[in-house]
Amino acid sequence: MSQKRVFSGIQPSGRLHVGNYVGAMRNMIALQKDYFCIYGIVDYHAMTVHFDPKEMEQSILDCAIDYMAAGIDPDRSVLMVQSTVSEHTELAWILNTITPISWLLRVPTFKEKREQNPDYVNMGLLDYPVLMAADIVLYKAEVVPVGDDQLPHLELTREIVRRFNSLFGHVFPEPKAQLGEVARILGLDGVNKMSKSLDNCIYLDDSREEIWKKLSTAVTDVRRKRRTDPGNPEECNIFTMHKAFSKKEDIDYCARECRAAGIGCLDCKKILLENMCKELEPIQKRQAQLREDRDAVQEILVRGRKRAKEIAVQTMGEVYTKLGINAYH
Ligand code: SF4
């Protein structure tokens, strides 16, 4: 293998927000420089919660457009749809047979989702981390860009890899997590994760006016009640957003002046608005161009499928040999 591989899955779950962008996309874009990256739009994962089949095709296409607009280069990396490479689910089945149920029951996201959707606790929800493990190891990825909430899933992948390799012989490398540089930014409420269902997001395609409307009412350091109170930037989500979008001199200025009550929160947010728009506007321009050429985007996904399939077939050949079933394939 000449170049180390990266795999990351992208859920086709509607409009992307700046939390997705900072938490995962930027890292995925940067990794393209040094690694061979395979980015899968993970439609099977999206089926573990309620979804509308009438919207799925469009969501997949929108997802591909958003990621390419942000900087995923389909000439350099593979952009593909998970369900078009059937080896993902074949390998997931095999990994299921060596994964104790107790490992899955302790995964925090399963517990969360079970509480959020008590009427829809399906087998796929429990098995999600095994399919995720299959997604990664099918391409022998050694690096996985993740948010900190995904770390338990990756640890589980590593445990499954160790078990497979020790039972049947070495096939898979143990993948390592690569966290983004900026801490996770919270939603506009300053408390919860940025999430569509909580209506606390700034979307990648929000206009400048929409962004300002949201930022101007966003929660800051809750202990700073008046303009004359010194603030604590480290306890302010707006400041975390500055760290994600602003240049160093603006970050330093806001931190200093906040602590000295030299600026008000609206002044601070205006600086953030400028820096955020500077980064988002070129992405929005590319989104608009790609939306005009949907056929070309579909072709890219077909090409991605072919490239991914070649690698997947090769890996599964090795897996079948180790399991003693290759003679029949
Ligand atoms: Fe937050 Fe800026 Fe207000 Fe300080 S001045 S509390 S960093 S928004």
Confidence of residue 2 (pLDDT cuts 50, 70, 90): low
Query: Residue by residue, what is the 3-state secondary structure of the chain?
Result: CCCCEEEEEECCCCCCEHHHHHHHHHHHHHHCCCCEEEEEECHHHHCCCCCCHHHHHHHHHHHHHHHHHHCCCCCCCEEEEHHHCCHHHHHHHHHHCCCCHHHHHCCHHHHHHHHHCCCCCCHHHHHHHHHHHHHHHCCCCCEEEECHHHHHHHHHHHHHHHHHHHHHCCCCCCCEEEECCCCCCECCCCCCECCHHHCCCCECCCCHHHHHHHHHCCCCCCCCCCCCCCCCHHHCHHHHHHHHHCCHHHHHHHHHHHHCCCCCHHHHHHHHHHHHHHHHHHHHHHHHHHHCCHHHHHHHHHHHHHHHHHHHHHHHHHHHHHHCCHHHC
Confidence of residue 34 (pLDDT cuts 50, 70, 90): very high
For ligand 1, what atom is nearest to the CA of residue 239?
A: 7
Q: Regarding beta strands 176-179 and 5-10, do their DSSP bridges make them parallel or antiparallel, or are they unpaired? A: unpaired
CA 185–ligand 1 middle distance (angstroms)? 14
In tens, the pLDDT along 167-187 reads: 999 999 999 998 877 667 899
CA 244–ligand 1 middle distance (angstroms)? 15
| pLDDT > 90: percent of the chain | 80
Cα separation of 225 and 26, whole Å? 34
pLDDT at 109: 84
pLDDT at 237: 96
CA 215–ligand 1 middle distance (angstroms)? 12
Q: Is the dihedral of CA 235, 241, 244, 246 positive or negative?
A: negative
Asked if the model's pLDDT at residue 203 lies above 90, the reply is: yes
Cα separation of 308 and 41, whole Å? 12
| pLDDT > 70: percent of the chain | 99
Mutate to test the pocket of ligand 1, among 252, 253, 254 (most ligand atoms within 8 A of CB): 254
CATH of domain 5-184+293-328: 3.40.50.620
Where do you find CATH 3.40.50.620 in the chain? 5-184+293-328
Q: Is the CB of residue 231 below 6 angstroms from any atom belonging to ligand 1?
A: yes
In tens, the pLDDT along 263-295 reads: 999 999 999 999 999 999 999 999 999 999 999
Q: Taking the model in full, what pTM does it have?
A: 0.90
208-287: CATH, from 3.30.465.10, 1.10.240.10, 3.40.30.10, 3.50.50.60 = 1.10.240.10
Structure token pair of residue 118: 């008590």
Atom 3 in ligand 1: which residue has the minimum CA distance?
265
**Lowest mean pLDDT: which of 147-156, 171-180, 203-212, 319-328?**
147-156
CA 137–ligand 1 middle distance (angstroms)? 43
Contact 191, 219 (CB under 8 A): yes
Q: Is the CB of residue 233 below 6 angstroms from any atom belonging to ligand 1?
A: yes
For ligand 1, what atom is nearest to the CA of residue 265?
A: 3
Structure token pair of residue 178: 């690569």
Mutate to test the pocket of ligand 1, among 258, 263, 267, 271 (most ligand atoms within 8 A of CB): 258
pLDDT at 144: 95
Catalytic residues: 113, 193, 196
Please give the average per-residue pLDDT across 54-70, as a whole number.
95
pLDDT at 210: 98
**Lowest mean pLDDT: which of 11-25, 87-101, 250-264?**
11-25
Tokens 């439609």, residue? 43
Contact 8, 24 (CB under 8 A): yes
CA 239–ligand 1 middle distance (angstroms)? 6
Spatial CA neighbour of 68 closest among 37, 46, 100: 37
Where do you find CATH 1.10.240.10 in the chain? 208-287
Structure token pair of residue 126: 């429990």
CB atoms within 10 A of CB 131: 23
Confidence of residue 197 (pLDDT cuts 50, 70, 90): confident
Contact 120, 50 (CB under 8 A): yes
